[in-house]
């Protein structure tokens, strides 16, 4: 059995994450396992990490149910110690093959003697978490659900958009300071 590991903060779960999971699934054979490892377990309710671990798990599960994807979800607390990160994370996600498009993460895992697969991603910039969060933040006080759906559909899968709308998961983004003041 081979474990294919997709690691991310999933703040929020977006189409780049969907692409990584589908890339990992393209290698999964009978008996293999897909593990989605959610980093920054302790983070939530802050500008770069607005959603809690429970909320991020719910987003991923909403997507997985509609996509008919089976996976094991695990959560990993940050230790803010890159040289020791892989050993720490491996205790939770297990040994296997990491699937990532993040070169720094790929390098850490290679140095720890993990096999790493880096799928080619044509639109990586569009699916960077900070960009997706900024777009969502702009919509956080828009009360037209159809407008929110229309704008977010370019970067967030539909089941996650629906989860964000149904749980009012965008509103908290409006409470974070941007560092830019109008006056």
Render pLDDT for 108-156 as a digit per residue (tens, 0 to 9). 999 999 999 999 876 766 677 788 888 888 888 888 999 999 999 999 9
pLDDT confidence of 180, banded at 50, 70, 90?
very low
- Residue 163 to residues 57, 103, 147, 151, 157: CA-CA distances in angstroms? 11, 30, 15, 15, 10
Q: Which domain holds residue 140?
A: 124-175
DSSP string, 149-179: HHHHTTTS-HHHHHHHHHTTTTGGGGGS--S
For residue 15, tell me if it sits in a domain: yes
Question: Within this chain, do residues 40 and 102 fall inside the same structural domain, yes or no?
Answer: yes
Question: Within this chain, do residues 24 and 43 fall inside the same structural domain, yes or no?
Answer: yes
More confident residue, 175 or 15: 15
Q: Which of 10, 15, 78, 76 is nearest to 48 (CA)?
A: 10
**pLDDT digits 0-9 by tens, 119-128:** 987 676 667 7
Average pLDDT over residues 90-99: 98
For residue 12, tell me if it sits in a domain: yes
SS3 breakdown of the chain: % helix, strand, coil, rounded to 5?
45, 15, 40
Question: Within this chain, do residues 101 and 166 fall inside the same structural domain, yes or no?
Answer: no
pTM of the complete model: 0.90
Question: Within this chain, do residues 102 and 39 fall inside the same structural domain, yes or no?
Answer: yes
């Amino acid at each position: 059995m081979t474990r294919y590991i997709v690691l991310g903060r999933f703040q929020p779960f977006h189409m780049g994450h969907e692409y990584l999971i589908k890339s990992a699934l393209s290698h999964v054979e009978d008996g293999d396992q897909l593990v989605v490892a959610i980093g920054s377990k302790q983070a939530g309710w802050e500008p770069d990490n607005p959603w809690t671990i429970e909320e991020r798990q719910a987003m991923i599960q909403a997507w997985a149910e509609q996509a008919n994807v089976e996976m094991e979800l695990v959560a990993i607390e940050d230790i803010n110690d890159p040289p020791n990160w892989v050993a720490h994370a491996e205790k939770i996600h297990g040994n296997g093959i990491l699937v990532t498009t993040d070169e720094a993460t790929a390098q850490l895992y290679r140095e720890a003697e993990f096999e790493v697969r880096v799928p080619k991603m044509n639109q990586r910039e569009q699916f960077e978490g900070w960009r997706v969060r900024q777009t969502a933040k702009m919509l956080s006080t828009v009360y037209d659900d159809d407008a929110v759906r229309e704008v977010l559909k370019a970067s967030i899968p539909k089941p996650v958009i629906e989860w964000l709308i149904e749980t009012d998961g965008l509103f908290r983004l409006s409470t974070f300071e941007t560092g830019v003041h109008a006056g």
